[in-house]
Structure 1
Amino acid sequence: MSCPNSVAVKTLNSSLDRLNEAQWYVQLMQEHYHCAEKFRWALSSFLRSTKEVSQIISMEIQQHKDLNLWYKKENKERHKDPIISYLVKQRDVVVHQKMLETASKGTVGFTRGKGIKLGIGQDINPNYDSKEAILNYISYAAKDVDFFGILYTEEDGGGEYTCVQREWRLSNFPDTEITTLCAHAWESVAKLLIDVAKQLGADFFYPKLDIRPIEEVELEIYNPAWIKEQLESAKKYHAAQNT
């Protein structure tokens, strides 16, 4: 007698694989959180792969007529979720060869261990890496003064470092960070996939997206030696412009 779990895994093998692929793309988003292009590429791939999960499920269960009818109804209901509906539309934008539009905001400041201690909030061009934000502030400070005292150019033993805190957004959900939206979408399609497996007799649990807390990825911390090098270079540049 076949094990129901094994039967479900065999039947849904491709959709389970694509679900894992979608998770990996969110992990890539976090890995490249401060690199604009790589972050956007990973997001686009996530949107594509999550939609493909539901398409693959439909193909995998097409021989199960009653289950397929049930699945189509459940999937249609899932798309009533405003987050799911919006992300699916963003995937279609990517498919039609338009660059996905994102937005980001951040804070240039300093950190001591965890979190930002003091900084200046600003919008960060979504086409620019986080490093551009600190370079802009360095250029400003080189012309005048580091008014906020956030440029740490020496290791002073206090554990304080210059940093950029960044968060990515999508226009329809300006108050929610993007990987949080992705987690919602991933767990939604994962639940649907597991529900299909349960219909096939499997005894599976509902998974959670395996990603790091946003607090662990939103900070990019800069080596004091690099800050010093960039500050000295900017001062030389501005001095040359004034001669």
Structure 2
Amino acid sequence: MVAFDEISSALDRLREAHYWLHQMERNYHFADQFRWSLNSFLKALKEVRPILDQELQHKEGFKAWKEPIYQTLRDNKLLVSLQKNRDVVVHQRRLRLRSSGAIGLYQGGLRFGVGLPIDPDHDSDTAILAAVAAGDPFGLMTPDEDTIPCVRRFWRLPEYEEEIVQLCSMAWLAIGGLMSEVIKWLSGEIIEFNLTCRLSDDEMMFRLYNRDALAQRLAPSMPRHFRECSMKPVS
């Protein structure tokens, strides 16, 4: 399709952001990998519009046509906020993320759990190992064929209460909407970008653990930070 050829680089960058969004889902319980994926997502998404402008800069009528749509995006507080967070990374600082969760037992959902702050620099494995090493106050290791030890995690940006991947999905759909409008303007074709491929919240937020595997990891040589991880309940 000619329209796709004209904006191929911008579409490629949108696809790249889509890839990093899924990497955030897959690495949700691994702190460094999650943060790196978020950084890459923000970078790719921010670059879509400048690349689009470059590709269509000589297209007759594009500058006037795009202005009301671009103004809508400039008024989108979420996009503006995520762009500012990307600028933080560009200036060689780490994103400040908030991380919380629950450690407990899974049975088709969270059957029992205690809310805890989870250090944003620690993997979810660190949190559950610390809980077990601290005397297993939640009974995670008690043999039970019906339940599975689990961590349910939740990532946030400091300025939002909503979960990060959900916010990034909303931002991606907003830029996807822009690309849909551009394709329609160029060719008359109606192409909708969606995220029906996303994991469910439970698939993303829950990490399940085998009791025998946990016991094996609680060897005397276990790193000290597993034992010293904060276990103070969320107030």
| TM-score, with structure 2 as normaliser | 0.88
Counterpart residue number, 2:151:
164
Q: Who is 1:34 aligned against? A: 29
Structure 2 partner of 1:3: none
Match of 1:119 in 2: 113
SS of residue matched to 2:187: coil
SS at match of 2:99: strand
Identify which of 157, 175, 180 aligns with 1:194: 180
Give 1:159 deviation, angstroms: 3.6
Q: What's the CA shift for 1:161?
A: 1.2
1:230 CA displacement: 4.2
* 1:46-78 residue CA offsets vs partner (Å, 9 max, x unmatched): 000001111111111101242123224422321
Alignment partners' CA distance in 2, 1:187 and 1:134: 34
Please say if residues 103 and 150 of structure 2, whose CA atoms lie closer than 8 Å, have aligned partners that are also in contact. yes
Residue 216 of structure 1 pairs with residue 203 of structure 2:
yes
CA distance in 2, matches of 1:108, 1:227: 14
Q: Could you tell me how far 1:232 is from its partner in structure 2?
A: 6.5
Name the SS for the 1:149 alignment partner. coil
- For the pair 1:129 / 2:137, whether they are aligned, the reply is no
Are residues 1:227 and 2:214 paired? yes
Q: Write the distance in 2 (CA, Å) between the matches of 1:34 and 1:229.
A: 20
Give the drift of 1:140.
1.5
TM-superposed deviation, 1:228:
2.3
Gap change, CA 1:16 and 1:232, over 3 Å in 2 = closer
User: Does 1:81 pair with 2:93?
Assistant: no
Paired residue for 2:59? 64
Unaligned runs of 5+ in 2: 225-235
Structure 1 residue 211, shift from structure 2 partner: 1.4
Partner deviation per Cα, 1:126-158 (whole Å, 9 max, x = no partner): 1110111112211211xxxx3432224x5x5x2
Runs of 4+ in 1 over 3 A off after TM superposition: 230-234
Distance between the aligned counterparts of 1:72 and 1:128, measured in 2? 44
CA distance in 1, matches of 2:214, 2:11: 45
What letter is aligned with 1:221? L
Report sequence identity in percent.
Answer: 34
Instruction: Work out which of the residue numbers 128, 134, 137 in structure 2 matches 1:140.
Output: 134
1:240 aligned partner: none
The 1-side partners of 2:2 and 2:139 are apart by 62
* Superposed displacement of residue 233, structure 1: 4.3
Cα displacement (A) at 1:17: 1.0
Letter in 2 for 1:133: A
Asked if 2 retains the 8 angstrom alpha-carbon contact of 1:110 and 1:116, the reply is yes
Matched residue, 1:151: 141
**Letter matched to residue 14 of structure 1:** S
TM-score, structure 1 normalization: 0.85
Q: Which amino acid in 1 is paired with 2:43?
A: R
Aligned residues: 222
Cα pair distance change 1:232/1:99, threshold 3 Å:
closer
Runs of 5+ in structure 1 lacking a partner? 1-5, 238-243
**Conservation of the 8 A alpha-carbon contact between 1:8 and 1:202:** no
Residue number in structure 1 paired with 2:89: 94
Per-residue CA deviation, residues 3-56 of structure 1 (Å, 9 max, x unaligned), is: xxx121111111111111100001001111100000000000000000111111
